[in-house]
Structure 1
Amino acid sequence: MNVDIKQSGGLDHATVRTVLSVDQPTGKAPLELFITDEHTENYLTLKMSGDAERGAMTGMLAGIASPLGLLLSIWMTMEGEWALAALSLAIATPMFVIPFLFEICRPLPLPVLFNRRTREVYFEKEGELFHSPWDGIQAMACEFQIVGPYTGGIGNTSLEIMLNRFRDPGNSLMISLGSPIGKTLDMQKGFWEYIRAYMNNGPWFDERGNYSESDNFVKSQLNLNTKPSSFLAHWRKTIADKKTATNGKNYLSGMDALMLLGHIMFYPTHWIQGFTHNIAKRKSRNRWPTVVLERLQSDGPATRLIDIEK
């Protein structure tokens, strides 16, 4: 069931509303806005609010507090203070185990999922499955301003699509494709072109959105979203590039050295955060209903959910 979008009721204060279609180019180049979670041959997923922060608590406690407790335990052992050494170890261990178990056992919110094989969009909310065929779907881009006494007017643009509840097409839901904060209308149009290029021409495409045998452009877009665990490698490469550009002469500034030291210190924290997040994500992905999971497989059913309803 296709529904023409007239107005997004959640943004009645929006100043400009623009309807975007799957078969009409916006004139903008494809642009990934650090929202994509997975970009595969069969499906594309977008991160939901609360996804990126998972693992941060474990990373901070396990990456900072636990090593300090472990070092203190080693020190006390060398001093012969066995009771204090055991106490330090007993405090350091739960600082990793408890937040780790807490964060991986809580399910992550499922992402917005674009299935290229069946040309469908899926979303889960409070155990209810929502979906829509890709062909004929529309997106609503709404420009609005947040005005504050100290910041003045800050422009933002949301991007929303409408999905219908599975086996209850009369129940619809508007979902946001990422946070609108800090995004312009042109940026959202570029992101819509990224999704259009994937669904219509993908899975790999070039800077104009045309089909490509190479995934170079897609990787160049996704690589811009540097993960915390990659900060150290990224900064080391930055310093190496400076060294090459200056032939090794006076290439390392005080700020470079300070930033490198900071990334080395926080690398364990960032690595543990990424490790925890990946485990929580793998556990959560199995929460999709069977009708969705089987359609994500290369040899899965090609029928759409709307066909099942009919």
Structure 2
Amino acid sequence: MIENAKKLFDAVASKFGTSSNVLLLNGKSSSGYAPSQPGLVESQDCVFLSLRTGSAESKGILTGVGFFVGAVGILLVLLPNLFGAPYSSNLDWWVFLLSVLVIFGPAIWEINRPPSLPIVFNRRTQEIYYDLKGELYHAEWSDIEAVAYEYQVINQYSGSIVHGNLEIILKKFGAPDDRIALNLSGVPAGKRLRTVVGIWEYLRCYMTIGPWFDENGNRTESKSLFIDKSLKSGELSFFDLVLESRRTLGQERKEGHGVSGTAFLSWLTSYMLLLPAFGMECIQKIDRKKARHRWPKVVQERLDPNGPTTRLIDIEEDYMVQKQQELGDIHERMRKTLPR
């Protein structure tokens, strides 16, 4: 188990054989890099900032596939009838029913799954929260450190691709010896060291300087254009990108230089991906609405602008005693009720 960021730094530097592409960062001092827009910011205000996780980004993929396959099945059943050909057998109705099930089955299953909670940076209590399979992990910003590094992945198909990660160490609430390394930078492919360090600077500026700042990390009294762009980029979904690609063909035609093959292919693909993207969009919106209410009570209280300002580490000992007492009470009731 990696207990702190220094040990993580040593492990990463040892694995890649050099420390030239590995940086140890902390929350108290600037790295010298300008903040860069993470693109994963789900929400940001005076109380807290939340980052989407990889599991949240992949939510709805199964539903999207179901929308596409089900729509194709329904279309195959309806097309002959639209052209005057009668239904040949009961098989058409079974295909229609199966297509409807393929559309709604995955959607119902994904809606009823536990939501993917974001990574939360709480300015009021100067803490970080993260949920891992129903277990709460946290860290205090006062002694936070991060490890930023880049590495290359080489294979015969794609050649050499640079990957970048930004990781911090979190400890489990109620079991501080249980610790995990958490990636804050999202998908590593294509990210350089300066990119992930810029993401760290964005988070550091939010936690130390204030909720609003400019592209140089200087505090502003209100939401700057830099922050506004960051929030808008974080709101972009796969569905938005598909809709945007549909406009590419029209934009090239307006320019009067003809239509490129790339624009035509993008336009054609956008119609194929429209239903899958719409299915993903629906599931992810529902998932985000459910997420806020799935945090433990101790976190929800601290995300309230008028809630307590005590940190989880301040109440952890009392919390552990309370949980141990509750567990003891349950065992005592079981001992009295079970036959001897």
Matched with 2:43 is: 38
Determine if contact 1:157/1:182 at 8 Å carries over to the other structure. Answer: yes
Partners of 1:151 and 1:232 in 2: CA distance = 25
Q: 1:72 aligns with which of 62, 73, 76?
A: 76
1:236 Cα deviation from its structure 2 partner: 5.0
SS at match of 2:56: coil
Partners of 1:77 and 1:148 in 2: CA distance = 50
Q: 1:250 aligns with which of 239, 252, 257?
A: 257
1:25 Cα deviation from its structure 2 partner: 1.2
Q: 1:10 to 1:71 in 2, by over 3 A?
A: same
Matched, 1:169 2:200: no
SS at match of 2:57: coil
1:281 Cα deviation from its structure 2 partner: 3.6
1:211 Cα deviation from its structure 2 partner: 2.4
1:270 Cα deviation from its structure 2 partner: 0.7
1:77 Cα deviation from its structure 2 partner: 4.7
Mark the structure with the bigger radius of gyration.
2
The residue type paired with residue 138 of structure 1 is E
Q: 2:15 aligns with which of 10, 13, 16?
A: 13
The residue type paired with residue 63 of structure 2 is T
Determine if contact 1:13/1:144 at 8 Å carries over to the other structure. Answer: no
Residue deviations 1:57-95, cap 9 Å, x none? 211221x22222223333455534274553232121101
SS at match of 1:199: helix
Q: 1:229 aligns with which of 226, 239, 246?
A: 239
The residue type paired with residue 192 of structure 1 is W
Query: Which ranges in structure 1 are unaligned for 5 or more consecutive residues?
Result: none
* Identity across the alignment (%): 32
Partners of 2:140 and 2:74 in 1: CA distance = 54
1:254 Cα deviation from its structure 2 partner: 4.1
Partners of 1:145 and 1:256 in 2: CA distance = 31
Which has the larger displacement, 114-123 or 11-20?
Answer: 11-20
SS at match of 2:121: strand
Which has the larger displacement, 171-180 or 269-278?
Answer: 171-180
Partners of 2:157 and 2:102 in 1: CA distance = 40
Matched with 1:220 is: 229
SS at match of 1:235: helix
Matched with 1:54 is: 59
1:291 Cα deviation from its structure 2 partner: 0.5
Partners of 1:227 and 1:273 in 2: CA distance = 9
Partners of 1:258 and 1:150 in 2: CA distance = 23
How many matched pairs? 304
Q: 1:192 aligns with which of 186, 193, 200?
A: 200
Matched, 1:209 2:195: no
Query: Which ranges in structure 2 are unaligned for 5 or more consecutive residues?
Result: 318-340
Partners of 1:42 and 1:55 in 2: CA distance = 29
Q: 1:5 to 1:61 in 2, by over 3 A?
A: closer
Q: 1:148 to 1:301 in 2, by over 3 A?
A: same
1:239 Cα deviation from its structure 2 partner: 5.2
Structure in which a larger fraction of residues adopt helix = 2
Q: TM-score, normalised by structure 1?
A: 0.84
1:194 Cα deviation from its structure 2 partner: 0.9
Q: 1:77 to 1:190 in 2, by over 3 A?
A: same
Determine if contact 2:42/2:231 at 8 Å carries over to the other structure. Answer: no
1:224 Cα deviation from its structure 2 partner: 4.0
Matched with 2:314 is: 307
Residue deviations 1:21-62, cap 9 Å, x none? 212111212112433333344222223333212211211221
SS at match of 2:7: coil
